[in-house]
Copies of this chain bind each other. A is one copy, B any other.
Amino acid sequence: MSKRTEIQTILEDFKPRVGQELTVMGWVRAFRSNRFIALNDGTSMGTLQVVVDFEQIPEDVLKQISFHACIKATGKLVESQGAGQDVELLADTVEILGAANPEEYPMQPKVQSLEFLREKAHFRMRTNTFSAVFRIRHGIAYAVHKYYNDNGYFYMHTPIITGSDAEGAGEMFRVTNLDISNPPRTEEGEVDFKEDFFEKPTNLTVSGQLQAEIGALALGKVYTFGPTFRAENSNTSRHLAEFWMIEPEVAFYDIFDNMDLAEDFCKYLINHILENYSAELEFLDQRIQNLEKNMPKNERRAMGLIETLRFVVDNDFERITYTDAVNILRNSKPYKKGKFEYDVEWGKDLQAEHERYLVEKKFQKPVIVRDYPASIKAFYMRMNDEQEGVPGKTVAAMDVLFPGIGEVIGGSQREERLDVLKTRMADMNVHEEELWWYLELRKFGGAPHAGFGLGFERMVQFITGMGNIRDVIAFPRTPGNAEF
């Protein structure tokens, strides 16, 4: 095809191109007065004004220049006389690459509801809101790889199909190529998984952590970035059945190193977007202001989107223990006034309402809570020594809580002591045979190590300010929904 010039290239450096004959291709965002096309090609938020002479362009072409029609235009780039743009393209020729008959096309040049757009996931990326979200999503993903690469970590692809269900019993998806209608059976009448593809039951992974530990105890510093799955029947704005997770795992790190890494990493991601996607952020910031205009003040955000992001990168995260958190909560006004739905008691997990109080009311910034009761945490988390003033046993676990979205990171120092680990596994009913290799990692050449998991979509939500997690992943998977 004859080469095009990308619109972002023209907009960010138009001077040397003025007077040149250029070809652009993209989707019509608006067509005013049968003369001015606002053309966007996805490269940025910006549109190029393409000016057509309706006496020169054939009638049938002109008629097809409509919202989201795809066109190719060739002409001279000139400085614009009108307000609102530096340059415009005076089109000699316009070719319709793909019409979009407005009588039939479901997208319209006005605000359409996010719910409606979710059903039109094959078109929503053409809108300002979603193109901004998905460019930023890319930016965050790239920053993840750049951060770890530049800091000497190695990217590991941990398995998606796993024979282990140590972590997610009951919430895992089964993977099979048996005939479900009529599976092979053993003599005892059980489903004969020896006949399945992997010759045993397999599931979709809930986390790459256990395998990432293998990498950390060989290469020192590794991270994963891959899809993870929960067959959990949660129809909320914070849950997906399929989501992406980033899991660094580091040899020779303890829980304090781990907290430092988590804070530095989060700030790096946010800074990368502040520095490289300002047009997108400004658009999304304005979008939220428009949405909140008619809301009562107490339902509006305390700070604007960009202000929030700057605040997070400019301030230290608050760091407290779980025991501190319980004491703060029990002394809080909402607790004393009976405003919390769930009780606060040492040994019970913190609920979203409690986390929100800590982050949004008490500290008004990200909070890292550590040293949780062993009884509510996973088997692989490192047992702490008894601590003064702490009523029960704790593990070196940490959660990073963010304003508006709650937990974005969960992590821990891992139990490297074989005997302690075995006791924990027995207590929590995790079978040794299934994790023989995980135990051997402690038996041969083990080391203290730590890591965490960052829910990628939660971070995208935080940075874009989108309220529903289904709007930050291209094709959300939720109960009853695997469309596209």
Say if the beta carbon of A121 comes within 8 Å of chain B: yes
In the bound assembly, the distance between CA atoms of A470 and B61 in angstroms comes to 55
Beta-carbon contacts under 8 Å, A217-257 to B? 217-221, 226-227, 229, 231, 233, 241-242, 244, 251-254, 257
**Which single residue of chain B is at the shortest CB-CB distance from A136?**
B154
**Which single residue of chain B is at the shortest CB-CB distance from A150?**
B142
Beta-carbon contact of A155 and B173 below 8 Å = no
Beta-carbon contact of B174 and A154 below 8 Å = no
Beta-carbon contact of A480 and B198 below 8 Å = yes
Beta-carbon contact of A122 and B440 below 8 Å = yes
Query: A441 contacts which chain B residues (CB < 8 A)?
Result: 122
In the bound assembly, the distance between CA atoms of A227 and B6 in angstroms comes to 31
Beta-carbon contact of B474 and A215 below 8 Å = yes
Say if the beta carbon of A288 comes within 8 Å of chain B: no
In the bound assembly, the distance between CA atoms of A313 and B46 in angstroms comes to 36
In the bound assembly, the distance between CA atoms of A441 and B105 in angstroms comes to 11
Query: A378 contacts which chain B residues (CB < 8 A)?
Result: none
**Which single residue of chain B is at the shortest CB-CB distance from A182?**
B191
Which one, B100, B160, B180, B479, contacts A180 given CB within 8 A? B180
Question: Known contacts being A152-B6, A180-B183, A242-B161, is A484 close to B437, with CB within 8 Å?
Answer: yes
- In the assembled complex, the CB of A219 is this many whole angstroms from the nearest CB of chain B, namely 4
Q: Interface with B: A199-207, A327-335, A367-375, A385-393, which one?
A: A199-207
In the bound assembly, the distance between CA atoms of A304 and B118 in angstroms comes to 53
In the bound assembly, the distance between CA atoms of A419 and B199 in angstroms comes to 45
Beta-carbon contact of A442 and B474 below 8 Å = no
Beta-carbon contact of A1 and B437 below 8 Å = no
Say if the beta carbon of A31 comes within 8 Å of chain B: no
Query: A85 contacts which chain B residues (CB < 8 A)?
Result: none
Question: Known contacts being A173-B176, A180-B183, A444-B68, is A482 close to B123, with CB within 8 Å?
Answer: no
Say if the beta carbon of A211 comes within 8 Å of chain B: yes
Query: A160 contacts which chain B residues (CB < 8 A)?
Result: 160, 204, 227, 229, 242
- In the assembled complex, the CB of A187 is this many whole angstroms from the nearest CB of chain B, namely 15
Say if the beta carbon of A35 comes within 8 Å of chain B: no
In the bound assembly, the distance between CA atoms of A442 and B242 in angstroms comes to 28
**Which single residue of chain B is at the shortest CB-CB distance from A178?**
B180
Say if the beta carbon of A149 comes within 8 Å of chain B: yes
Which one, B1, B183, B219, B480, contacts A42 given CB within 8 A? B219
Query: A173 contacts which chain B residues (CB < 8 A)?
Result: 161, 175-177, 197
Beta-carbon contact of A220 and B251 below 8 Å = no
Say if the beta carbon of A347 comes within 8 Å of chain B: no
Query: A41 contacts which chain B residues (CB < 8 A)?
Result: 220, 251
Query: A177 contacts which chain B residues (CB < 8 A)?
Result: 172-174, 231
Which one of A135, A183, A219 has the highest number of Cβ atoms from chain B below 10 Å of its Cβ? A219
Which one, B98, B199, B442, B474, contacts A445 given CB within 8 A? B98
Query: A107 contacts which chain B residues (CB < 8 A)?
Result: 444
In the bound assembly, the distance between CA atoms of A121 and B176 in angstroms comes to 24
Say if the beta carbon of A481 comes within 8 Å of chain B: yes
**Which single residue of chain B is at the shortest CB-CB distance from A194?**
B480
Query: A233 contacts which chain B residues (CB < 8 A)?
Result: 197
Question: Known contacts being A176-B174, A448-B1, is A98 close to B442, with CB within 8 Å?
Answer: yes
User: Across chains A and B, which 9 residue pairs bring their CB atoms closest together, nearest first?
Assistant: A98-B446, A125-B218, A42-B220, A42-B219, A198-B482, A138-B154, A163-B482, A122-B437, A100-B444
A–B pairs, 27, beta carbons within 8 Å: A25-B252, A42-B219, A43-B152, A98-B442, A105-B444, A121-B437, A123-B218, A123-B445, A131-B219, A134-B215, A137-B154, A142-B145, A156-B474, A157-B227, A161-B173, A161-B242, A162-B482, A163-B483, A174-B178, A175-B204, A176-B176, A176-B180, A180-B183, A181-B183, A198-B481, A200-B482, A211-B475
Please give 5 more A-B residue pairs, beta carbons under 8 A apart, in addition to A123-B444, A197-B479: A42-B219, A138-B149, A138-B154, A157-B227, A211-B475
A residues whose Cβ falls under 8 Å from a Cβ of B? 1, 4, 6, 8, 25-27, 41-43, 68-70, 72, 97-101, 104-105, 107, 121-123, 125-126, 130-131, 134-135, 137-138, 141-142, 145-146, 149, 152, 154-163, 172-178, 180-181, 183, 190-191, 197-200, 202, 204, 211, 214-215, 217-221, 226-227, 229, 231, 233, 241-242, 244, 251-254, 257, 416, 437-438, 440-448, 473-475, 477, 479-484
